[in-house]
Amino acid sequence: MPRRYFDANATAPPLPSVLEVMARAAAELWANPTSTHREGQAARHAVEEARRSLAEGLGVKPGELVFCATATEALHLLLRGLAPALGGLPAAVNPGEHSACLNPLKDWLVVRWLPGGLKGAATVVQMAANNETGLLGAMPQVPGAARIKDCAQAWGKVPVDLSDCDAAVFSGHKMGGPRGAALLWMRPGLPWTPVMEGPQERRRRGGTEDTPAILGLAEAARHLPERLAANAALAPLRDAFEAEVLGWSADYAVIGQDQPRLPNTSSLLLRGHDGEAVQMALDLDGFAVSTGSACHSGATKPSHAVLALGYTEAEARSVIRVSLLPGTAPADLDALAAALKRPRASRGEPPP
């Protein structure tokens, strides 16, 4: 049975040219970029060229970028490194932030939720785009506060602006790049201290650089203009799919339908259904989608990002997330819509 993948926000396949670049780098540039011999220096040169190219694309200075393995790691390095200076002062945070961001903030003495909670904040954290709902967030401005932006989900889907923040993180595996490559950007002057010491990355992230992953990331970033256009082209398809599904029941809704959101993401509230059961039925039918719920210690918890928007626990449990890859065709969405109708019948519910 052909499989159709609608979980781009979880991860996306690496571009073919990324795989080629990585395979070549793994075969030819395997030396340690910290070594001072010729082999090491060849790897160093390639890593620095990748950094220069990525920095140019983001409009920052190469020396301001730190290569990491994941955005989760980058957020931990960033927040744990800011904690000695800022952790005793209030932080204002979007309640829908990814756990990769909320977890290191547990070190903070006072965490208040946005959009209120800005008074006296010395740190402000706002994700550029929410992974579950696709909702875009504007960076609140508090004079003197360190402003942190999580661009893991936005990168490659919508333009990313770094002029309104002081630090940002990016992930490679959601924009056509490889797993194992991510970026931390910090504006000079942040009160940040290293937490993972070592000589690499100007003492900001110890550990031998992963040359193939870094080169793969830079290769994917070179294709961002096409990817942004391909993602923008998904919005009308996504909207037509949503209109079809909403037509089936007055109980159905799209989270954030009329708000600025990622062009590829549809967070469907299928009131009266269990999102997990729908997801499993679709999986059996050949369609990969996700739910907002996450499994913790054997029990599934409804999405905190959906609950934070004021939905009930039952509503949050009814959500499925459909996130499209660039290049998704209208026929793929037609097939998904047809399959989405079927699980209702298979559970003994009347057809819409």
Ligand X SMILES: Cc1ncc(COP(=O)(O)O)c(C=O)c1O
As annotated, the active-site residues are 295
Is 153 or 293 the residue whose CB approaches ligand X more closely?
Answer: 153
CA 156 – CA 265 distance, rounded (Å): 13
Is 169 or 245 the residue whose CB approaches ligand X more closely?
Answer: 169
- Do residues 180 and 195 make contact, with C-beta atoms less than 8 angstroms apart? no
Q: How far is CA 304 from CA 96, 127, 336, in A?
A: 6, 14, 26
**Please, what is the minimum distance in Å from the beta carbon of residue 98 to ligand X?**
4
DSSP 322: E
- Do residues 29 and 212 make contact, with C-beta atoms less than 8 angstroms apart? yes
Is 121 or 217 the residue whose CB approaches ligand X more closely?
Answer: 217
- Do residues 154 and 261 make contact, with C-beta atoms less than 8 angstroms apart? no
DSSP 230: H
Is 131 or 211 the residue whose CB approaches ligand X more closely?
Answer: 131
- Name residue 105's amino acid: L
Is 131 or 303 the residue whose CB approaches ligand X more closely?
Answer: 131
**Please, what is the minimum distance in Å from the beta carbon of residue 103 to ligand X?**
11
Question: Under the rule (CB under 6 A), what is the footprint of ligand X?
Answer: 70-72, 98, 100, 127, 131, 150, 152-153, 171, 182
Give the burial string for 69-97 (b: 16+ CB within 10 Å, else e): bbbbbbbbbbbbbbbeebbeebbbbbbbb
CA 244 – CA 235 distance, rounded (Å): 14
- Do residues 68 and 177 make contact, with C-beta atoms less than 8 angstroms apart? no
CA 163 – CA 160 distance, rounded (Å): 9
What residues form DSSP beta bridges with 265?
A: 323
CA 102 – CA 152 distance, rounded (Å): 14
CA 337 – CA 250 distance, rounded (Å): 17
**Please, what is the minimum distance in Å from the beta carbon of residue 247 to ligand X?**
30
**Please, what is the minimum distance in Å from the beta carbon of residue 181 to ligand X?**
9
**Please, what is the minimum distance in Å from the beta carbon of residue 171 to ligand X?**
3
**Please, what is the minimum distance in Å from the beta carbon of residue 272 to ligand X?**
28
Is 137 or 343 the residue whose CB approaches ligand X more closely?
Answer: 137
Is 180 or 194 the residue whose CB approaches ligand X more closely?
Answer: 180
Spatial strand order in the sheet of 290-291: 252-254, 265-270, 319-323, 290-291
**Please, what is the minimum distance in Å from the beta carbon of residue 72 to ligand X?**
3
- Do residues 153 and 9 make contact, with C-beta atoms less than 8 angstroms apart? yes
